[in-house]
Chains A and B, each alone.
Chain A
Amino acid sequence: MRAEKFTVISAGHGGGDTPATPRNVPHKGGDANPTAAALQARFGSTIARVDVINGETTVIVDRDKVHDIVQWLHDEPTQSYEYLSDVTAVEHRDAQRPIEIVWHLRSIKFRRFIRLKALIVKGSALSICSIWDIYKGADWLERECYDMFGIQFTGHPDLRRILMWEQFKEGHPLRKDFPLRGRFSRSQQLENALAANPEARYSMEELSIVDAYEELPLDMRRRLLGGEKTGE
């Protein structure tokens, strides 16, 4: 056996009952997560509403105060939401309804689950504060959310597209105004792909041999002069 390197953090070490599979959960209402009341006591009017749907507590918060609230939930020992499950967004079919940014947080210590939501009214700037500095796991989740919805996470260190490619010009696929088949026809998509210059994406450092040109064998130099690309 190897020596123990880390002390084990066990879930539920903050006390509480042994969890059980939820049964007969009401569609609306029921017991809210105690964190919701604590949030209302601590942040007052920045908590717009608390809903309990299907046994899950949703707290709708002021979009400017998200970072403070998440920071408090993470740091406060009586809450201890140390695990970020998910960051995502919801756009409703009704174009008038605001876009919702959704955070699913878990407290491993108290075995609690809470959903935070911030609403972005259509027409206002699609930006929200990044929580990357609190949870490193938010990095790719926020990048995906930006990629799919176009939401700017201010404070994110490297907000690039992640699933779509950098040159993708058609917009953000999970927005409701984005057609299922894409903005361009298949033939136009093919044309765009052929016209793209994939070499432009790679740094010369990565794959180039241009600086070593003088050392290349003659036949390769001839092929390069003939227009052959390197680096694929």
Chain B
Amino acid sequence: MATKRTIEVELSTTGLTKDGKAQRVPLVMGGGAAVALEAPPSMEPELEGEHMLINIGPQHPATHGVLRLVLEMEGETVVRCIPHVGYLHCGFEKIGEYRQYNQIIPWTDREDYLNSIGNNVAFALGAERLFNIEITERCKVLRVMAMELSRIASHLVWMGTTCIDIGAYTPFLWSFQYREKIYEMLEKWVGARLTTTATRVGGMAADIPDGWTDKLQSFVQDFPRTLDECERLLTKNAIWVGRTVGLGVMSPEEALNYGLSGPMIRASGVDYDVRKDFPYLDYETYDWTVPVGTSGDVYDRFLVRMAEMRESVKILAQALKRLPDGPVNVDDPRVILPSKKKATSEMESMIHHFKNVMEGPRPPIGESYVAVESPKGEKGYYFVSDGSSKPVRWRIRPPSYVNLSAIPKMVEGHLLSDVIAINASIDIVMGEIDR
């Protein structure tokens, strides 16, 4: 009998045994289920202390993409977690070495696809530092609007999907309703909803259309009410609190050491936001605060993200007030194309246009690392240029990749059902993790 093994289902226990342990029900194959349930066999002694391995994913709705978690379980408690990533790897960084700078921008849409316009801005900022370009004031404010809108959209998706994971359905519908409004605005602006490709090195693909700011104004006015409604459903909801408080705790020191960023590190009590501490796009001139949690658990991550959306609305309102007139693109012939009219009527402009499109802009030899605060955390783009029109190295510093690497630390010791909540709280996007 020593080699005999029974595969058991832990999910349906018929109660406790005499010594207080959960009665295990063996998975009976064939037609014997009814018999087994009527008379559960006594505990097999060799199964005491035996660990079971459970595989979640890669095709599982609660893993938010193609993440595979192998969990070693002691009863219902996770003792070890082995994450497997890479199912979506498609070599963005390698492809970037074969593309001109403006040609890489469509790839940035597709890595963190919930924050695509934010990635476009981050990429353009990195490339502009490499080209040594100072963008115009109007472009700066437009980019701030783009980043904050996409932060709200990303956090809304996070809230909706996490609610579904934990068992609430209504906030999902409400959040997707407002996400849709953001995507409508983006569509009016750049013509695409998800894959925006909105920026160019030195400016934007398009200026905002007439009447767009009114749409944004009404969004800024209406949106906080939806946030209030969602908070009323969740923040003091006994089920929500019961399923999130005390889970996946990371202390501030651990969070720093594990390299967490974004809402993850701020929920752990580290007041670190790239927008405040290593500012870009004049974020230091806006009046807003960095929400910080003090418990480092799933509930605090939820609170931090909700507060962050409110701060984003504040930033959007200020950006609307200060939006200056003027050109969007810099006046730099190295990177900006001549106008269509000139290109079709003047020989020199046509040559300029041709050279810029076919050969691409050439940055000076050098390197730059620009990090922005994406909804997931510190998103960095690192460029190395050898003076040619294609980067020698284009590196994405993916925030949710580093955040996810701490998942074994967070889930070990928790129950299987809490793994789902903790995994949801990281806000992973597999497109960005696997790249």
Contact = CB atoms under 8 A, between A and B. Distances in A.
Contacts of B397: 85-86, 104
A10 B271 contact: yes
Contacts of A20: 279, 284
B134 A23 contact: yes
A191 interface: no
B367 A53 contact: yes
A11 interface: yes
B95 interface: yes
Contacts of B369: 56, 85-86, 104, 113, 115
B384 A90 contact: yes
Interface stretch (A33-41, A65-73, A121-129, A158-166): A158-166
Interface stretch (B289-297, B337-345, B421-429): B289-297
Contacts of B89: 163-164
Contacts of B331: none
A211 B259 contact: no
A76 to B, nearest CB: 16
B277 A108 contact: yes
A18 B269 contact: no
Nearest to B280: A21
How many residues of B sit at the interface, in one of the four size bands? Answer: 35 or more
B392 A90 contact: yes
A111 B371 CA distance: 13
Contacts of B42: none
B226 interface: no
A180 B95 CA distance: 7
A193 B409 CA distance: 34
How many chain A residues sit at the interface, stated as a range, is: 35 or more
A113 B278 contact: yes
A173 B292 contact: no
A27 interface: yes
Contact of A6 (B269, B276, B283, B380): B269
Given A88-B395, A90-B392, A206 B132 contact: no
Contacts of B104: none
B259 A135 contact: yes
A144 B435 CA distance: 11
A118 to B, nearest CB: 15
Given A163-B86, A163-B89, A12 B277 contact: yes
Given A4-B294, A21-B282, A141 B402 contact: yes
Contacts of B3: 211
A129 B55 CA distance: 33
Contact of A93 (B271, B386, B405): B386
Interface string B405-416: 110010000000
Interface in B80-108: 85-86, 89, 91, 93-95, 98
Contacts of A9: 252-253, 256, 269-272
CB-based closest 3 A-B pairs: A137-B259, A217-B30, A140-B405
Given A5-B249, A19-B284, A148-B93, 16 more contacts: A2-B245, A7-B252, A8-B269, A9-B271, A11-B276, A11-B277, A21-B282, A23-B134, A58-B367, A82-B257, A92-B392, A108-B270, A111-B277, A113-B369, A137-B402, A207-B55
